[in-house]
Chain A
Amino acid sequence: DTAVSQTPKYLVTQMGNDKSIKCEQNLGHDTMYWYKQDSKKFLKIMFSYNNKELIINETVPNRFSPKSPDKAHLNLHINSLELGDSAVYFCASGQGGNYGYTFGSGTRLTVV
């Protein structure tokens, strides 16, 4: 059973398009995250939701809009895709500092 699953695994799209990445966790965690890993392999937090409520919103362009329909799901919609959005996006979930966090296997987004 996959604990944190992301779809799709790969996404190739043209500049200016709108796309979504979906994430689901079956661990019963209250908090979910989106991270971006760029070509230099640096992992940077983008958003965090706790029980469907946005609690962390780092300096991310407004073109990125997360949505959490319930605490087991956190989707990421990206409008007007740009070349610089090309990266691997990781979803994660957790239950606080005294517990390990679980990451999905990533979505590799390529904007051409």
Chain B
Amino acid sequence: DAKTTQPNSMESNEEEPVHLPCNHSTISGTDYIHWYRQLPSQGPEYVIHGLTSNVNNRMASLAIAEDRKSSTLILHRATLRDAAVYYCIHIARFQGAQKLVFGQGTRLTINP
């Protein structure tokens, strides 16, 4: 299965930017990189995804390295509601199907 590596935990302060790193050295040329987050007692929530170029949406930005072996999720101005476990995933293929294979994720703590 496709493997990603993330720090177990990170901490930041409210209203400061947060950079969440991810290594995905086994990624193949057509695998998309997805980020999800899971708030306490909720299901995973889609944050952002990309293939080669950097991406921005209302929730976050995604910076993808030129060799695509790593990426960084950027929360521009963290709030207390951003405290969650953040998962970096690259879509694995299995018999023509696609599946999200979750790693351990990064637990993000936001200090007031």
Question: CB distance B101 to A45 under 8 Å?
Answer: yes
Q: Interface range on chain A: under 10, 10 to 19, 20 to 34, or 35 or more?
A: 20 to 34
Question: CB distance A106 to B43 under 8 Å?
Answer: yes
Question: CB distance A104 to B91 under 8 Å?
Answer: no
Q: Residue A97 contacts which of B31, B36, B94, B104 (CB distance < 8 angstroms)?
A: B31
Please report the total number of B residues contacting A with Cβ < 8 Å: 24
Q: Which of A12-20, A36-44, A68-76, A79-87 contacts B (4 or more CB under 8 A)?
A: A36-44
* Residues 64-108 of chain B, each 1 if its beta carbon lies under 8 Å from chain A, else 0: 000000000000000000000101000100111111111010000
A46 to B99, CA, bound (A): 10
A104 to B95, CA, bound (A): 25
A25 CB, min distance to chain B CBs, angstroms: 12
Q: Residue A48 contacts which of B32, B34, B36, B99 (CB distance < 8 angstroms)?
A: B99
In the complex, chain A residues whose CB is within 8 Å of the CB of B97: 31, 48, 50, 55-56
Question: CB distance A42 to B102 under 8 Å?
Answer: yes
Q: Is the interface of A mostly helix, strand, loop or mixed?
A: strand
B102 CB, min distance to chain A CBs, angstroms: 4
Give the A-B pair count, Cβ closer than 8 A.
Answer: 62
Question: CB distance B49 to A100 under 8 Å?
Answer: yes
In the complex, chain B residues whose CB is within 8 Å of the CB of A101: 34, 36, 46, 100
Question: CB distance B44 to A43 under 8 Å?
Answer: yes
In the complex, chain B residues whose CB is within 8 Å of the CB of A55: 94-97
* Residues 74-112 of chain A, each 1 if its beta carbon lies under 8 Å from chain B, else 0: 000000000000000010101011111111111000000
A5 to B26, CA, bound (A): 34
A4 to B32, CA, bound (A): 22
Question: CB distance A43 to B102 under 8 Å?
Answer: yes
Question: CB distance B91 to A97 under 8 Å?
Answer: yes
Q: Known contacts being A101-B34, A102-B46, is A96 close to B98, with CB within 8 Å?
A: yes
Question: CB distance B42 to A97 under 8 Å?
Answer: no
A101 to B100, CA, bound (A): 9
Question: CB distance A100 to B34 under 8 Å?
Answer: yes
Task: Give chain A's interface residues, CB within 8 Å of chain B.
Answer: 4, 31, 33, 35, 41-45, 48, 50, 55-56, 90, 92, 94, 96-106
